Amino acid sequence: MSILLREYYGNNRLSARQILGDPVLFLAFGFGSGLSRFMPGTFGTAAGIPLYLLLAQTGSVVYAVVTMAAIVAGVAICGRAAHKLGVHDFGGIVWDEVAGFLVTMLGVSLSWQSLLAGFALFRLFDILKPWPIKWLDRQVDGGLGIMLDDVAAGGVACLILHYWF
C-alpha cells in the first residue's frame, strides 16, 4: 500500500488498475488525478489546467462548447462512476473539478495571474461551499448533484475573476 494511493476505492473496492482501465472511471477520476489519497479535488483541479491551456488557444465559442459538453457529459460520467464505486460522491471523482475549473476560466484572459487566481478561487468556493453552493450539494442527487455544486463554485469564481481581470 502506498502513502499516496489507496489500496482500494469505494464500497465496491475497485483497484487503481480497474479505475485506470475503465474509460468512464478514468475520466471521472480526472485522468487518474483523483486516485490521490490526499487532496484529490485539488489534484483534479490541477488536471484541468492543461485542458484549459489548450482550450484557451481556440477562441471563446469552442471553449464554451467544450465546457458545456464537459458539464453535460460529466453528469453521466460522475453518475456512472458513483454507481460503479458504490459511493454517491466519492472524493476521487474529480471530473466535476475539471469542469468547474473550466467554468471558472470562461472568458478570462489567459495570464499566469488569472490562472493562479482562478485556481485559488475555485478551490476556495469548492471547499467552503457557501450558500447556495452548499444547498445544491445537499439537495441534488446523482450525477447532476455531483456536478452542480462545482459548476456553481466555478460560476462564482468566474464572476470574481471578471471583476478583477
Any domain includes 7: no
Is residue 3 in some structural domain?
no
C-alpha closest to that of 154 among 40, 73, 52: 52
Domain range for 48 is: 16-164
CA angle (136 as vertex; 86, 67 as ends), nearest 5:
85
Number of structural domains found in the chain: 1
pLDDT of residue 137: 80
Q: Is residue 45 part of a domain?
A: yes
Q: Is the residue at 137 inside a domain?
A: yes
Query: Which pLDDT belongs to residue 50?
Result: 98
> What element of type H or E holds 74?
helix 60-85
- 95 located within any domain: yes
Query: Is 97 part of a structural domain of the chain?
Result: yes
Instruction: Indicate whether 105 belongs to any domain.
Output: yes
Q: How does pLDDT run along the chain (165 residues), one tens digit per residue?
A: 576 788 899 999 999 999 999 999 999 999 999 999 999 999 999 999 999 999 999 999 999 999 999 999 999 999 999 999 999 889 999 999 999 999 999 999 999 999 999 999 999 999 999 899 889 888 888 999 999 999 999 999 999 999 987
Question: What pLDDT is stored for residue 42 in this prediction?
Answer: 97
**Cα Rg for the chain, rounded, in angstroms?**
15
Q: Residue 151 domain-assigned?
A: yes
**What is the reported pTM?**
0.94
